[in-house]
Chain A
Amino acid sequence: MSAQVTRIKPEADQPLPGNEVQKERSMVLQKEMIASHYKALAASAETGCKVVYTFVPGNLNELIGSFDNLLPVHPEINALQNAMRKRTGKMVLEAEKLGHSEDVCAYVKADIGMARSGNIGPSGTRIPDPHLLLLSYTGCFTFLKWFELLREEYNAPVAMLHTPYQGDGIVTDSMRAYMVRQIKEEVIPKLEKVSGRKFDIDKLREMLARSRQAEDDLVAVLESAKNVPSPIDAYFGAVYYIGPIFSAFRGTEAAVEYYRELRKEVEARLAAGQGPVTPEGEMGPERYRLVVEGPPNWTSFRDFWKMFYDEGAVVVASSYAKVGGLYDQGFRHDPEHPLESLADYCFGCYTNLNLPSRVALLSKYVREYQADGFLINSIKSCNSFSAGQLLILREVEQRTGIAGGFVESDLVDPRYFSGANIKTRMESYFQMIEQKRKGAA
């Protein structure tokens, strides 16, 4: 039995206009969830909901959601959604006009540029100004600076949760206690103030229980890629799969339903021996299995993906799919220990891991997912991901004996995606793997 596939026409402002795109039912569901969230944001003034800006890695979505009248906004998601609609070029230039350098994270510039152009979000509705800036993950230094800028821009208060880096590769009890204390003393009081309601730990527990359910299903989906052929693409496809859980929906009924549906679809594909669905339909035979490190490029997302599926390359595991949490390594939100598990969640996001842990994790993926290639997409303006990637490349190559590849692009700055250059590298890389196979045979 094959999964149900609905063919829908993309909206006029989506990439590759005119092309008919294949979407699974879960994608349609997700689209509706995102649209409803942007609608709720646009109507927040009327509904009396307050708006909390926060980042994806280590976000405290259940905590925000437990107040019932707080809505999260994730600036990176606005930036990437705008990039997929080819709108960030202008926004980045707008920010550069204000004096932000070319080297500054393009997410930041797209966000600042959007704010300065009426703050119209990806869905075409206005994103309301923040009532609170909740900086719940400090592993990325740019996040700190970003919220300093937004504080200036909106004159909004900041709640800062300082997340210690996993420098030694472990989370100690004192690190966890330090985080819990900050959540109690810094974060919750500020949320209460903005919300006007008291924090209710039982509501938080209920949300965490729902998170856990969705997390189980997500892991089953991601781990389905251990099968040969893989029924999913764990990078380009996973970008959609991780959308709800890393953003505004973790802990909601909608997310539980979405992941239940997604898992069903993937299991059906697996049972039918099908490969991933691409924007051009079913993928051809699986020829290469890759582990990918680094975020995707958003401005030419489809073009970049096409360079993979045209060659029969499936990404079987990616670090980007863990950017908001390493559920596949066992972490689950825990209603029995609500604040502690929120702390652990913040500790565990991928870029908070030190280099040895990242190398070990990626090498493990290569082995467990039977990959025959390890590719890095190095993002020009993202220090959190890109620092140390060449070292990672060499180490993973040495530990696993597989061929490493390296391409460079950017998140949402269209000027830093050179299609011809990346295509040359990708083709060379696939041919190199092929040649190695022939040599070994």
Chain B
Amino acid sequence: MKLYLGIDLGSTTTKAVVMDANQVILGKGITNSRSNYDTACAIAQNEAFIDTRFSLFRRQMSTGAVELGTGAVELGNLEAFLTGLEANFRLEQFLRQLRHLTEISMAEISKGRVDQALRTPLRDKLEQLFEEIAVEALEWFRPGAAKRSDFFRDLAGNAYMRGAEALAEPDGVTYDMLVNVYDKCIIRVENTLLDLSLEGNMGKALDRSFGDGGRDGLSEEAEAEIRSAADQVLDISLEVLNAVGTGYGRARLPFPKERIRSEILCHGLGAHTMFPGTATVLDIGGQDTKAIQVDPEGIVTSFQMNDRCAAGCGRYLGYIADELNMGVQELGPLAMQANKSVRINSTCTVFAGAELRERLNNGERREDILQGLHRAIILRAMSLLARSGGIEDEFTFTGGVANNEAAVHALSTLVEENYGKRKLNISANSIYTGAVGAALFALRNVAG
């Protein structure tokens, strides 16, 4: 099968998108950039190819390309089954990484730096901790479970810290000792290319789905058909005809120059592909905010971006989340519970941190302060939008921050106040916009 690959190496996350010759997006992959673009790029690509095979699997089964013989697989059941199968696959991937984290954590204890007398109790606590995480993980990957971060670091880290707090003893294995082990090992796990492939984990995921009565009304024949379809999909050869890279770390890609495209052009084209009526694009990424005007063909006609200071970008939210000891994904929902918007004057990360503490000291609620912070970010973006030529209809918001409901709320309000009604487009896949644009450039380059 002939495919086109777009890779967006962002400062915070790395994204890959696989597209077929008909511009249909078959697979998406994302990982945190972890200061190691090479690894991040490899992982995002692998993930996008895994997602592609899932799409092909789904497509093959639902179009009846696989002969289901008895007709025992109802389409409704099939969808539920496939969703469950994908969740089980993700669970297997998570457990694979957790096993690796366990192994290197144990090895870390054996190193001379840990007090001899505390090694055994520390090992026991870690074993318990990792076992508890593995059990808890079954719940996270259950179909219908609340949306969590896509990254192993976030999932494992949150559970680990909670567990460490519960298991720590002031006079024995302390919280700091436990955290220290995690801090030393997590980066190594992230930078090891483990076998998280479909080939290596699909069998186990299928066993998990079919085991323990999980067949969910499917007959034995249906199971055989599905296993056979899975084998067939794994056998399909995926051939990348062209790949284009973009994003902050694009220079790290081993691509010739003509296959590296600017993220501004990729976001413009990606937004146009997702929403063909797009005239203005706002992209708030980890390190940059970009305001882009595109013509009806998705060609960029003008753009503005922040200068060297990353104030008001995604990183700023990450910093605020750290200050509040929260996950970055929790900021938006909390801000939406505000009763009022506390005025925050600065989007400078350092000043805003000080302002945040001052407002907290003055007795303001976190929710209200957070709403003010989101407004401050969007105000800065509004200035870039004005510089780029204003906001035309339709207006597409892309990048990771577009998934933050408080940022979207502030944006819609300010756009309406300043420009009147505009159709605001936000895709659930907004974070992939740059990679979609890159994949499309890859396709167009080949098509000439």
Contact = CB atoms under 8 A, between A and B. Distances in A.
Interface of A: 380, 390, 394, 397, 403-404, 406, 408, 416-418, 420-421, 424-425, 427-428, 431-432, 435-436, 439
Contact of A428 (B263, B306, B307, B308): B263
Contacts, number: 56
A394 B303 CA distance: 12
Given A390-B387, A439-B297, A439-B299, A424 B308 contact: no
A418 B262 CA distance: 17
B265 A403 contact: no
B308 A431 contact: no
- A-B CB proximity, top 4 nearest: A418-B308, A428-B262, A428-B264, A408-B307
Contacts of B303: 425, 428, 432
B104 to A, nearest CB: 33
B88 to A, nearest CB: 40
B389 interface: yes
Nearest to B305: A425
20 contacts: A403-B302, A406-B304, A416-B307, A416-B308, A418-B307, A421-B288, A421-B305, A424-B248, A424-B264, A424-B305, A425-B264, A425-B303, A425-B305, A427-B262, A431-B261, A431-B262, A432-B262, A432-B265, A435-B265, A435-B300
Contacts of B389: 394
Contact of B262 (A390, A397, A424): A424
Nearest to A421: B308
B102 to A, nearest CB: 38
Interface in B94-128: none
B305 A432 contact: no
A291 to B, nearest CB: 16
A408 B306 CA distance: 9
Given A397-B302, A432-B299, 18 more contacts: A404-B302, A406-B304, A406-B387, A408-B307, A421-B306, A424-B248, A424-B264, A424-B288, A425-B303, A428-B263, A428-B265, A431-B262, A431-B265, A432-B264, A435-B299, A436-B299, A439-B295, A439-B299
Given A390-B387, A416-B308, A428 B288 contact: no
Given A420-B248, A424-B264, A427-B262, A432 B300 contact: yes
B192 interface: no
B300 A428 contact: yes
Nearest to A439: B299
B345 interface: no
Interface of B: 248, 261-265, 288, 295, 297, 299-308, 387, 389
A435 B302 CA distance: 12
Contacts of B248: 420, 424
A428 B304 CA distance: 10
Contacts of A394: 389
Contacts of B264: 424-425, 428, 432
Contacts of A439: 295, 297, 299
Contacts of B304: 406
A111 B304 CA distance: 32
Most chain B CB within a 10 A radius of its CB, from A406, A420, A428, A439: A428
A372 to B, nearest CB: 14
A347 B299 CA distance: 42
Contacts of A428: 262-265, 300, 303
A411 to B, nearest CB: 15
A403 B301 contact: yes
B265 A424 contact: no
Nearest to A390: B387
Contacts of B387: 390, 406
Contacts of B302: 397, 403-404
Nearest to A434: B265
Contacts of B299: 432, 435-436, 439
Contacts of A435: 265, 299-300
A435 B300 CA distance: 8
A109 to B, nearest CB: 18
Contacts of A408: 307-308
A383 B306 CA distance: 19
B263 A424 contact: yes
B410 to A, nearest CB: 24
A408 to B, nearest CB: 4
A436 B297 CA distance: 11
A430 to B, nearest CB: 8
A188 to B, nearest CB: 45
A427 B301 CA distance: 14
Contacts of B301: 403, 432, 436
A408 B302 CA distance: 16
Nearest to B298: A435
Contacts of B306: 421
Nearest to B262: A428
Contacts of A431: 261-262, 265
Contacts of B297: 439
A435 B272 CA distance: 15
